[in-house]
Amino acid sequence: MGKINILDSSIYNRIAAGEVVERPASVVKEFVENALDARAENIAISIERGGKDMILVTDDGSGIGREDLRAAFLPHATSKIARAEDLDVIRTLGFRGEALASIASVANVRIRSRAAGAAEAFELSCSGGKMGEIVPCALGGGTEIAAENLFFNTPVRAKFMKSDKGEEGEISNIVARFVLGNPRVAFRYHIDGKLALQSFGGGEDEALAAVYGGNTLSQCYKIDAQKHGVCIRGYLGNPAFTKANRTYQSTFVNGRYVINNTLGSAVANAYASYLMKRQYPLYVLYIDIPPEIVDVNVHPNKSDVRFENNQVIYGCIYSVISAVLDGNASALEYVVGAKKEDSAAPSESYTKAREESGSVSFPKGEPGDDNASDRKADVCAAEGAERPRGVSVGGARTESSAGLFDFAKPSQMKGGALLEFRDSAAREREARDAQGDAVFLENKRYLEALEQKAKQQKLLLERAEYRGCLFNTYLIYEEGEDAYLIDQHAAHERLIFDRLREEMEARKVVRQPLLVPYVLSVNREEFSFLYENAEKIREIGFEFEEFGENSFKVSAVPLDLQDIDLRSFFDELLREVGSLRGIRLSEVLRDKIAMSACKHAVKGGMILTEAEKEKLFEMLRGDMGLKCPHGRPVAVKLSKHEIEKMFKRIV
């Protein structure tokens, strides 16, 4: 019997769903893309329990005829392309033809549609890949498609989904991109029956305001440029209008939202001179290029594209954005409303925006430009110049690590020597076991030596005597033939830090109510991120609760952190949005506790009384191996032997 099996469609569609249908947001993406390809002008999206229970998308597009309904659920069935040549000039969002079949294989899908000019509408259901009968239904026009009980027949996939709020945030992110990328289409987005987002198809300004708020427009440069056949339109946030993460950045290539390294690097390097570390600009860019020079068929869920010439695309985007941010004369050609017909001077709005941004122009490569080397490499790439060997975009090294390790080839086994081989294998196994035992013992001795050394470094002073103070900062103690210099600030800082951390871990935090509650406004993705981690934030002493749409209210903070900068604290938390890591609350909190400890500790140069010095030494309990929260040593040991060597008493 042969070992190769020809899989049934119910199996290979579920396998394909693993790449196409990652989560409920993938289903929303496919449904809405089909609606847009059908030239819909009004699209309504509804979800329940983060899309796990139900996803419903209704549009007023061209619809599907009765004769095509059954074919729509077949694998590799599409109305977008017919020949291989069509792949070279893709102008639609969907074209692969496997999405609907994959979704129907892992969910209960129902589609109702009425083709343009048809007398009646028809309905077809498909559950787990099994299609029902086509029956007439009531529908005014367009298409209504629903997916219920996602992953009902693949419980393993369902187990790896996020919480309801987490999946809801992913979908909200996708919907926001659709609103931004299709400003002439009206969208209505409902979450569990409640309207969460709405746009009216009034254009790009309205779409930006619907997603990010009306005040965002006043913080952005609106650009419209054309360079080397590449059209670049959209909005660039001024350098003072920064965000804590990249969720406020959107790039659309021929109407398709993509995450592309070439485009992202071009924008990031153009902004590099104006932003501090871990600050990110807001931007929405629409890039239109001839479809024959871009390949959209490079990713299973079409989230990335490949350009025929990355250098040209990079150079066009980098030069346009740099000109706008630098305030070059050419920016007048790019910024909408910046050029007056009767004057070459910038308009008042553009000048005011640049003044408010606080940006300062200076030539690339001048002193103070930390990114000069990176930019030089990037400009070389953009202009097609030869790049220095071993350097890539951003200054990353590209040297090969081949040849670092050599592996012995396995010995060949002679035919008919099975018994000999087994004996040999047994001897080799025994030898390996003996060698492993030896290695284990050696490692054990090494670890014991490290532990002993650590114990020696953790000096317990019992009979140390105070001998004086240097520079009102370093306390001098003597014990036997050793002298110790203790940094009074580092020591006190570490003691305060340990106390605060113990209180946090023991949940004995005293809260300090705020006179005026702090309101934190975020986007949908950030909201779901903080909602999932709200309990962790409360555990460390914050009174933290939902407050209206996409907002949280902080009513109290830990007493020991009453001077905390809440905006900075939450910016640190939100830097992890969109990453694979969970919230770094413990790391961020540690930094804030360390900062508070540093602020409240005695400073270097302060004169301490004898009682204060004695109390500080007593609190240390003789532990001279401590370090302050920032990693500096609390104490330094000088032996009599080391001191005599300094004075050449001994050689």
SS3 per-residue string spanning 543-588: EEEECCCCEEEEEEEEHHHCCCCHHHHHHHHHCCCCCCCCCCHHHH
Task: Assign 43 to helix, strand or coil.
Answer: strand
- Place 16 in a pLDDT band, splitting at 50, 70 and 90: low
Q: Got the DSSP string for 439-494?
A: HHHHHHHHHHHHHHHHHHHS-B-SS-EEEEEETTTEEEEEETTEEEEEEHHHHHHH
C-alpha 639/C-alpha 625 separation (Å) is 15
Indicate whether 457 pLDDT > 50. Answer: no
The whole-model pTM stands at 0.65
Q: Report the pLDDT value the prediction gives residue 588, as an integer from 0 to 100.
A: 65
Residues 6+ positions from 426 with CB-CB distance below 8 Å: none
Cross-strand pairs, 121: 137
What does the pLDDT average to over 478-492? Answer: 84
pLDDT tens-digit readout, 605-623: 777 787 777 777 777 766 6
Indicate whether 137 pLDDT > 70. Answer: yes
Chain CA centroid to CA 565, Å? 23
C-alpha 551/C-alpha 523 separation (Å) is 8
Indicate whether 564 pLDDT > 70. Answer: yes
- Place 145 in a pLDDT band, splitting at 50, 70 and 90: very high
For tokens 């670049």, what's the residue? 232
Q: Report the pLDDT value the prediction gives residue 83, as an integer from 0 to 100.
A: 64
Which is more confident, 137 or 384? 137
Helices 164-181, 204-212: inter-axial angle, 10-degree rounding: 160
β pairing state of 194-200 and 186-191 = antiparallel
Which CA distances in Å does 106 have to 130, 336, 442? 11, 47, 54
Cross-strand pairs, 594: none
Q: Report the pLDDT value the prediction gives residue 165, as an integer from 0 to 100.
A: 86
Contacts of 195-203 spanning 24+ positions with Cβ under 8 A: 196/172, 196/524, 196/549, 197/172, 197/524, 201/41, 201/42
Which is more confident, 650 or 147? 147
What does the pLDDT average to over 377-406? Answer: 35
Chain CA centroid to CA 323, Å? 28
Q: Report the pLDDT value the prediction gives residue 87, as an integer from 0 to 100.
A: 62
Cα torsion 400, 404, 410, 412 to 10°: value is 70
C-alpha 56/C-alpha 69 separation (Å) is 18
Chain CA centroid to CA 529, Å? 11
Which is more confident, 64 or 461? 64
Q: Report the pLDDT value the prediction gives residue 20, as an integer from 0 to 100.
A: 66
Residue 415, token pair as written in the block: 């035919």
C-alpha 500/C-alpha 590 separation (Å) is 10
What does the pLDDT average to over 193-201? Answer: 93
C-alpha 49/C-alpha 136 separation (Å) is 30
- Place 263 in a pLDDT band, splitting at 50, 70 and 90: very high
Q: Report the pLDDT value the prediction gives residue 53, as an integer from 0 to 100.
A: 93
Q: Report the pLDDT value the prediction gives residue 143, as an integer from 0 to 100.
A: 93
Asked if residue 524 lies in contact with residue 554, where contact means CB atoms within 8 angstroms, the answer is no
Mean pLDDT score of the chain, rounded to an integer?
76
pLDDT tens-digit readout, 402-416: 332 333 333 343 444
Identify which of 35-44, 498-507, 581-590, 628-637 has the greatest average pLDDT: 35-44
What does the pLDDT average to over 139-163? Answer: 86
- Place 158 in a pLDDT band, splitting at 50, 70 and 90: confident
pLDDT tens-digit readout, 312-356: 999 999 999 999 998 888 888 888 877 654 444 444 545 555 555
Indicate whether 394 pLDDT > 50. Answer: no
Residues 6+ positions from 115 with CB-CB distance below 8 Å: 62, 63, 64, 65, 66
Q: Report the pLDDT value the prediction gives residue 344, as an integer from 0 to 100.
A: 44
- Place 419 in a pLDDT band, splitting at 50, 70 and 90: very low
pLDDT tens-digit readout, 519-563: 999 888 888 888 888 887 887 778 999 988 789 999 998 876 777
Q: What angle do CA 256, 261, 262 make, to 5 degrees?
A: 85
φ, ψ at 557 (rounded to 5°): -130, 160
- Place 385 in a pLDDT band, splitting at 50, 70 and 90: very low
